């Protein structure tokens, strides 16, 4: 972060996000804040505060923000409600809102983070919901501080609010925030007293210990991350933990594994969103991806690698764009994206593909509708996109790369790496990409001098195309190792070699002092000079061409061939060899030399080296004038002797050379035989490998077949799962599936009506959740099921008076083993109401029957068709008939047709049609088994809600 102020002029800028906060809250916040605190406070958000109102509660000067106003310490600034406020180079600027709905906190906090760096502080007070989460994440990324009012977030179970709580350094009541701000300000002042280079230089060893602790904790090596970035993260954690000394913090890390994990997460803080840098994705969509797809054949498998995928927003963004480009180009291709990261929690979030509602601000409505599905107040990525991506935990530094990929998108990751690692990754990406493959980096990233490996497609948005050149193949990326491990190993080896070399020199000097005084050399078996003793420069001359320290190339030409031969012989035979009478021209004079080689057999560091000794002997020079010699004949004899000696020496050398040639020939023949044998073995191995290849090909075909079968089964399983989901949702039955430990495995959408449950509760024990049932313990009932393998049914009532039939049954697997409990709830409120109604009707019927029986006259109830519905006991007694003969029989058929008269039928019909009752209608008959009876009839209509269902009540009065 490049701060625009000097260290002496910089001061903390506190952004306070508010929503419907009154003056009393600000009074509590500024109560303990001195007027000369050295900080600036900016109030932003939806509020009703004015300068006049706020000035009543704060003793500091309060100003309304205006365009291009300079930020000053010891002042409070109020941002306008109707405009977005930002900061650039320490000055405010105002703009018209661009997003709908507005996000004034996110915008202000983001600009504050990039302008003020570690001096940026965000505080979120009560009433805030989604706004402020992204901006606070930006502040954390730039080493600033985040504070949240304890219990102040609205919708605390929302994704936006929960992410703010995770980012918060401190969650405090509003009245305690000022004390923490003062502590933080003092910490910033102490930190600014020394530069980062001074801190790194002083604490370099301690920093290595911290990195070692992290590596031991989770096997991830940060040694090639930028030290300044890591040190700032460490300082931030020290500030939160109230630790002043870094050594004390190291001891705290050693005792507290949770803090190691927290520091690890702090180093990997993820700042991303959908279609981040939208202009870059437009360039991809309109230019790069179409060109990439243009030359690909039908059925091609397009492979993409996205290292550092974070929580998956940019992965899905790229997948959406490529899918759209494929559809637009009408290319029948398959897409396969490998998205990797070392943060397993971030990978899990990406793999779930569930994001908060605020992502709608970054995605076009048509894309949101097509590629996302609204699910429980969050957006889930569509199955079409999700199935094209494989998420995995992968360390870009130490794990083998994905190869033969068409595109790599590695955005905003390289900025955290040192230059040496960036260069290595440049070669690695070049190796991974296919010819003309695309590399997509962040806008602040580049490979510097390694751009010769790539052609620049767009310099602003860092889009590159792979060039078909040879690169250094990531040689230091070793399996199951790291770059740092290899570097340390090389450093250790260098130090060991250096110490051994120092001991070797001491041993050589000691040996020479004890045994030799003439000029000599110590060489290895190859002839490379290790040590020179005495004045030996006159025996050497520099050869043209590449510089070498090999003694056979540096000595005078007259000795080269002989010396090379005896060195080879001495290295093989380990015997001393001496060459005598070698004539050499030194300083225009001929000198006779004897030189010998002696393998050193002393134990220790000198063993295997060879000692080469030069010794001058007396001899007449070749160009001596004859006038200086007394006897010419004697001189001739001497010259002949010298020539004979030289010839003899030449014969010896020739003989040795011939022996060496013969020996070399024999060795060559032996080597040739070995090579021939090795060639036969290689041919045999090649045949075996060919057989293995055919077997592997066959196995591959089998794997493909099995994979196709598995894919078919997977599709069938997905279809069955969809059927089951739709079945469960359509039955209006709430289901909870529990495992053998009574942890929640799955539940249907109706369950939240009965249990306080959210999607993140899957995997939690049911006992941790609060139910909405009266006097019902589901956990105890479920435990009984696991003990008895029986079934439980009981009626339960919710707190709001809704009745359910709760049924608990064992969860049985395909092997008929009990692996949990299934709890179902069927709404029986209507059935309960119906039962109550039936009971009420039954009571009313019994009441009516009791009244009928209490009447002291025979009585009939007829329907509209004159059919007998019921009669009382007096009717049966007086007319000597039975219920079987009476009920359901027409009136005209009773008593063998005695009631079948036209006059009576007309009277009763009049009752039905006109509702006119009649009384004392005389009828006299001779009734079978009863005798003559004179009867007076009273008839009345019993009205119902439906006229067609009206009844007739007939009362029979007989004369005694």
Distance of CA 125 to the CA centre of its chain: 30
Tens digits of per-residue pLDDT, 752-773? 888 988 888 888 898 888 888 8
* Count, residues in the chain: 960
List of residues 6+ apart from 527 with CB closer than 8 A: 550, 551, 552, 564, 567
Gap between the Cα atoms of 104 and 122, Å rounded: 13
Per-residue pLDDT tens over the stretch 56-89:
888 889 999 998 899 999 999 998 888 889 898 8
SS3 content of the chain, % helix, strand, coil (to 5): 45, 25, 30
Backbone angles phi, psi at 776, to 5 degrees: -135, 125
Across residues 462-481, what is the average pLDDT?
62
- Residue 178: count other Cβ atoms within 10 Å of its Cβ: 20
- 3-state DSSP of 820-882: EEEEEEEECHHHHHHHHHHHHHHHHHHHHHHHHHHCCCCEEEECCCCEEEEECHHHHHHHCCC
Of the candidates 95, 35, 38, the one whose C-alpha atom is nearest the C-alpha of residue 65 is 95
Task: Say if residues 791 and 706 touch (Cβ distance below 8 Å).
Answer: no
Taken in order 51, 52, 56, 60, the sign of the CA dihedral is: positive
Instruction: List alpha helices for 296-337, DSSP H.
Output: 313-329
In this prediction, residue 6 has a pLDDT band, given cuts at 50, 70 and 90, of very low
Q: What does DSSP assign to residue 755?
A: B
- Position 196 pLDDT exceeds 80: no
User: What is the number of alpha carbons within 13 Å of residue 130 lying toward its C-beta?
Assistant: 14
Please give the pLDDT value at position 642. 66
* Residue reference for tokens 């090579």: 675
The pairing of strands 120-124 and 145-149 is parallel
Can you tell me the distance from the alpha carbon of 938 to that of 927, in angstroms, rounded to the nearest whole number? Answer: 19
Q: List C-alpha distances in Å: 581 to 430, 527, 578, 911.
A: 61, 22, 10, 162
d(C-alpha 50, C-alpha 48), whole Å: 7
Three-state secondary-structure class, residue 128: coil
In which element (H, E) is residue 259 found? helix 257-267
d(CA 39, CA 182): 9
Percent over 70 (pLDDT), the chain = 84
List, edge to edge, every strand of the sheet that includes 433-441.
389-393, 334-341, 301-307, 405-410, 433-441, 463-466, 454-458
pLDDT at 635: 63
What does the pLDDT read at residue 407?
94
CB 300 within 8 A of CB 260: no
Mean pLDDT (whole number) for 281-285? 92
Q: What is the pTM of this model?
A: 0.52
- Above 90 in pLDDT, residue 522? no
pLDDT value at 609 more than 90: no
> Does residue 411 or residue 704 have the better pLDDT?
411
> Helix, strand or coil for residue 925?
strand
Task: Provide the pLDDT for residue 901.
Answer: 80
pLDDT band at 259, cuts 50/70/90?
A: confident
How far apart CA 85 and CA 128 sit, in angstroms, is 17
Q: Are 206 and 250 in contact (CB under 8 A)?
A: yes
What percentage of the chain carries pLDDT values higher than 90?
A: 12
Cβ atoms within 10 A of the Cβ of 435, count?
A: 9
Beta pairing class for 744-747 and 792-797: unpaired
Judge whether 614 and 595 are in contact, CB under 8 Å: yes
Cβ atoms of 304 and 405 closer than 8 Å: yes
Whether the upstream peptide bond of residue 101 has omega within 30° of 0, thus cis, is yes
Tell which residue, 535, 534, 532, 536, has the closest CA to residue 559. 536
Are the beta carbons of 653 and 562 closer than 8 angstroms? Answer: yes
DSSP state of 770: P
In the structure, what pLDDT confidence band is assigned to residue 934 with cuts at 50, 70 and 90?
confident
Beta partners for 806? 794, 825
């Amino acid at each position: 972060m490049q701060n625009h102020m000097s260290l002496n002029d910089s001061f903390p800028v506190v952004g306070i996000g508010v929503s419907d906060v009154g003056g009393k809250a600000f009074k509590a916040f500024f109560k303990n804040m001195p007027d000369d605190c050295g900080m600036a406070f900016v109030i932003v958000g939806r509020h009703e505060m004015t300068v006049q109102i706020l000035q009543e509660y704060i003793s500091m000067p309060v100003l309304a923000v205006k365009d291009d106003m300079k930020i000053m310490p010891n002042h409070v600034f109020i941002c306008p409600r109707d405009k977005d406020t930002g900061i650039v180079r320490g000055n405010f600027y105002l703009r018209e809102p661009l997003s709908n709905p507005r996000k004034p906190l996110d915008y202000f906090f983001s600009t504050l983070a990039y302008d003020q760096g570690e001096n940026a502080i965000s505080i979120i007070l009560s009433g805030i919901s989604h706004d402020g989460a992204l901006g606070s994440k930006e502040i954390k990324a730039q080493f600033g501080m985040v504070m949240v009012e304890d219990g102040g977030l609205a919708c605390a179970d929302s994704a936006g609010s929960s992410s703010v709580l995770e980012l918060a350094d401190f969650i405090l009541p509003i009245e305690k925030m000022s004390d923490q701000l003062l502590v933080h300000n003092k910490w910033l002042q102490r930190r600014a007293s020394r530069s980062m280079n001074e801190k790194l230089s002083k604490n370099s060893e301690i920093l290595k210990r911290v990195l070692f602790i992290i590596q031991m904790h989770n096997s991830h090596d940060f040694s090639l991350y930028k030290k300044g970035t890591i040190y700032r993260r460490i300082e931030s954690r020290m500030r939160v933990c109230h630790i002043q000394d870094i050594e004390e913090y190291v001891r705290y890390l050693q005792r507290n594994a949770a803090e190691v994990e927290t520091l690890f997460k702090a180093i990997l803080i993820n700042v991303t969103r959908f279609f981040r840098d939208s202009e870059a994705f437009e360039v991809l969509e309109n230019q790069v991806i179409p060109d990439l797809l243009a030359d690909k054949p039908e059925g091609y498998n397009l492979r993409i690698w996205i290292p550092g995928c974070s929580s998956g927003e940019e992965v899905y963004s790229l997948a959406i764009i490529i899918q759209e480009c494929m559809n637009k180009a009408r290319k029948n291709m398959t897409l396969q994206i490998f998205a990797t990261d070392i943060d397993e929690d971030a990978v899990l979030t990406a793999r779930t593909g569930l994001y908060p509602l605020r992502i709608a601000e970054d995605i076009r409505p048509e894309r949101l509708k097509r590629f996302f599905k609204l699910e429980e107040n969050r957006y889930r990525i569509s199955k079409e996109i999700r199935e094209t991506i494989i998420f995995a935990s992968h360390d870009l530094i130490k794990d083998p790369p994905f190869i033969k990929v068409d595109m790599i998108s590695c955005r905003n990751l390289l900025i955290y790496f040192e230059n040496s690692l960036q260069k290595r990754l440049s070669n690695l990406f070049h190796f991974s990409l296919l010819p003309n493959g695309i590399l997509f980096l962040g806008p602040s990233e580049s490979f510097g001098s390694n751009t010769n490996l790539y052609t620049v497609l767009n310099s602003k948005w860092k889009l590159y195309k792979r060039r078909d050149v040879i690169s250094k193949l990531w040689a230091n990326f070793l399996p199951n190792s790291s770059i740092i491990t290899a570097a340390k190993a090389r450093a250790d080896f260098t130090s060991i070699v250096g110490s051994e070399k120092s001991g070797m020199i001491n041993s050589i000097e000691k040996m020479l002092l004890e045994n030799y005084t003439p000029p000599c050399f110590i060489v290895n078996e190859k002839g490379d000079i290790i040590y020179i003793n005495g004045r030996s420069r006159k025996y050497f001359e520099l050869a043209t061409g590449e510089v070498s320290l090999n003694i056979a190339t540096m000595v005078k030409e007259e000795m080269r061939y002989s010396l090379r031969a005896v060195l080879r012989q001495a290295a093989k035979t380990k015997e001393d060899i001496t060459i005598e009478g070698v004539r050499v021209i030194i300083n225009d004079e001929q000198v006779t030399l004897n030189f010998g080689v002696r393998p050193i057999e002393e134990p220790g560091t000198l063993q295997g080296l060879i000692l080469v000794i030069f010794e001058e002997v007396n001899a007449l020079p070749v160009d001596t004038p004859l006038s200086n010699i007394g006897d010419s004949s004697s001189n001739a004899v001497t010259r002949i002797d010298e020539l004979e000696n030289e010839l003899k020496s030449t014969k010896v050398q020739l003989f040795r050379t011939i022996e060496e040639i013969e020996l070399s020939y024999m060795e060559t023949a032996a080597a040739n035989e070995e090579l021939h044998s090795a060639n036969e073995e290689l041919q045999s191995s090649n045949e075996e490998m060919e057989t293995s290849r055919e077997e592997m090909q066959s196995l591959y075909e089998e794997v493909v077949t099995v994979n196709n079968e598995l894919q078919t089964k997977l599709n069938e399983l997905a279809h069955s799962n969809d059927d089951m989901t739709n079945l469960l949702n359509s039955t209006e039955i709430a289901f909870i599936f529990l495992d053998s430990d009574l942890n929640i495995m799955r539940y249907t959408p109706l369950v939240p009506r009965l249990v306080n449950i959210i999607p993140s509760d899957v995997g939690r024990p049911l006992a941790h959740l609060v139910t909405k049932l009266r006097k019902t313990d589901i956990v105890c009932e479920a435990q009984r099921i696991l003990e008895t393998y029986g079934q439980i049914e009981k009626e339960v009532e919710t707190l709001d008076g809704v009745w359910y039939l709760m049924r608990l049954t064992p969860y049985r697997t395909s092997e008929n083993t009990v692996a949990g409990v299934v709890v179902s709830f069927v709404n029986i409120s209507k059935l309960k109401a119906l039962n109550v109604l039936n009971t009420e009707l039954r009571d009313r019927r019994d009441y009516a029957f009791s009244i009928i029986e209490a009447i002291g006259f025979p009585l009939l109830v007829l329907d509209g068709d004159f059919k007998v519905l019921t009669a009382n006991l007096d009717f049966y007694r007086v007319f000597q008939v039975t219920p079987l003969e009476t009920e359901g029989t027409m009136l005209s058929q009773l008593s063998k047709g005695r009631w079948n008269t036209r006059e009576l039928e007309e009277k009763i019909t009049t009752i039905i049609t006109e509702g006119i009752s009649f009384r004392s209608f005389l009828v006299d008959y001779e009734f079978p088994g009863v005798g003559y009876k004179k009867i007076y009839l009273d008839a009345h209509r019993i009205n119902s809600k439906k006229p067609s269902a009206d009844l007739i009540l007939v009362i029979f009065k007989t004369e005694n």
